């Protein structure tokens, strides 16, 4: 058998996987059936079968998809599921990988919307981290709304009241009907390309009044959602009533409950700005007064330091030191003189005590022999010798008549 090629099981399995994954019709399936053979794995995955009277299909709902669902499959219930057909090589099974579960009876339009929502979510169009903040002080706002409705009037009224400085660029569009998705996409693109004086719009308000689910269908269109995502400036959506959520709302950078609320979110309030300006002016005045007071204090302290270091003050200080030194010297001199006087008086008294004249005045006398020596002993004289006796007021001359010793 020339040219016969025998495939390995793994090769055949790979071929089947590629066949399933590359066939568009098998990647976007809606299947209705009754849940059977339901089991949940410890990892959080759900394995079950969908069956009717004639056939059944193996299904798997992975934990990552189950986490987003409001309710999980229950045995015996009839469901409509969305998913893609795949070939599980290890088990040799063809299984439906489910990503969306809905009870039977839900309309096809609702199911398609949920599938589209899941698709866009998986692509990251709803990711919080990609949403951009609105500019604090927009100079130019683009508005996409119906030309004849009350929405644009309400938005302009709020903008004039809150922030009349802002310029509005209006891109009218149909907001319901068959031509609405194309016109909405075209309006968003026009605003994205709009530029005047080197500047485009700072943000876009996508607005519509309330309506039924069918009335809001244009804002659930995939083209509109992707146009909002592709807009180069932040998009603020205000579609329907507060409880209405469309795909455009989920993709937009911020959602407002009403068009009037969108105008309020998009702009600052001039009254509040006035209060802020007055408060800032008061704070600036207080800060300026405090700063001036601090400068005055610094000037006074600097003047005081300069005054203390001026030559005149230094000379006055030296003069005071000189006067203090002179005063201390004078005190020391006076003390020294006083001590000298005390010593001199003591010496004088000592001299007076030792002065012979004083002794003579007290009745004593000094006797001199012929040789002129002071006689202190009888042995120094002899009878008949001349004596000279010194008294306080003169001398007495005499001779020795007799001597006695004791």
CATH number of the 9-123 domain: 2.40.50.140
DSSP assignment of 357-376, as one string? Answer: HHHHHTT--EEE-TTS-B--
Parse the chain into domains and list their residue ranges. Answer: 9-123, 134-268, 272-309, 358-399
Distance CA 212, CA 294 (A): 67
* The listed CATH number (3.20.20.80, 3.40.50.2300, 3.30.200.20, 3.40.50.300) that belongs to domain 134-268: 3.40.50.2300
Q: In terms of DSSP H, where are the helices of 59-217?
A: 63-66, 108-123, 150-162, 180-193
Buried b (16+ CB within 10 A) or exposed e, 194-224: eeeeeebbbbbbbbbbebeeebbbbbbbeeb
Cα separation, 244 vs 385, in Å, equals: 167
Distance of CA 362 to the CA centre of its chain: 109
With CA atoms as reference, report the closest residue to 377 among 390, 367, 385, 386: 367
Asked whether the beta carbons of 106 and 80 are under 8 A apart, the reply is yes
Tens of pLDDT, residue by residue, the chain (406 residues):
556 778 888 888 888 888 888 888 888 888 888 888 889 888 889 999 889 888 999 999 998 888 777 678 888 888 888 888 888 888 888 888 888 887 776 556 676 777 788 888 888 888 999 999 999 999 999 999 998 778 999 999 999 999 999 999 999 999 988 899 999 999 999 998 888 777 889 999 999 987 777 788 889 889 999 999 999 999 999 987 767 788 999 999 999 989 999 999 999 988 888 888 899 999 999 999 999 999 989 888 888 877 777 777 777 777 888 888 988 888 999 899 999 899 888 888 887 777 777 777 777 888 888 888 888 888 888 888 888 888 878 888 888 888 887 7
């Amino acid at each position: 058998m020339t040219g016969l090629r025998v495939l390995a099981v793994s090769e055949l399995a790979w071929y089947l996987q590629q066949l399933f994954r590359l066939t568009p019709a098998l990647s976007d399936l809606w299947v209705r059936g009754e849940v059977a053979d339901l089991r949940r794995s410890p990892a959080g995955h759900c394995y079950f079968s969908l069956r009717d009277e004639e056939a059944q299909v193996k299904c798997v709902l992975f934990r990552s998809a189950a986490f987003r669902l409001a309710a999980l499959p229950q045995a015996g219930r009839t469901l409509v599921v969305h998913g893609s057909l795949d070939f599980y090589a290890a088990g040799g099974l063809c299984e439906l990988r489910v990503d969306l579960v809905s009870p039977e009876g839900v309309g096809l339009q609702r199911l398609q919307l949920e599938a589209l929502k899941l698709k866009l979510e998986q692509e990251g169009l709803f990711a919080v981290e990609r949403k951009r903040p609105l500019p604090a002080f927009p100079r130019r706002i683009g508005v996409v709304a119906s030309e004849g409705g009350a929405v644009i009037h309400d938005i302009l009224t709020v903008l004039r009241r809150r922030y009349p400085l802002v310029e509005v660029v209006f891109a009218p569009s149909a907001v319901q009907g068959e031509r609405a998705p194309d016109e909405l996409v075209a309006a968003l693109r026009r605003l994205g390309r709009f530029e005047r004086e080197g500047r485009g719009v700072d943000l876009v308000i996508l607005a519509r009044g309330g309506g039924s689910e069918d009335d809001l269908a244009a804002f659930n269109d995939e083209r509109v959602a992707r146009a909002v995502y592709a807009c180069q400036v932040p998009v603020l959506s205000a579609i329907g009533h507060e409880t209405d959520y469309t795909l455009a709302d989920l993709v937009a950078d911020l959602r407002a409950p009403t068009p009037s609320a969108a105008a309020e979110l998009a702009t600052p309030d001039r009254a509040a700005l006035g209060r802020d300006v007055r408060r800032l002016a008061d704070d600036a005045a207080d800060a300026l007064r405090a700063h001036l007071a601090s400068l005055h204090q610094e000037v006074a302290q600097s003047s005081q330091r300069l005054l203390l270091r001026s030559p005149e003050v230094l000379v006055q200080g030296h003069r005071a030191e000189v006067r203090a030194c002179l005063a201390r010297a004078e005190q020391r001199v006076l003390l020294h003189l006083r001590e000298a006087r005390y010593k001199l008086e003591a010496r004088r008294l000592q001299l007076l005590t030792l002065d012979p004249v004083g002794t003579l005045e007290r009745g004593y006398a000094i006797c001199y022999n012929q040789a002129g020596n002071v006689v202190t002993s009888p042995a120094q004289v002899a009878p008949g010798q001349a004596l000279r006796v010194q008294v306080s007021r003169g001398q007495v001359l005499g001779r020795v008549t007799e001597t006695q010793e004791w």
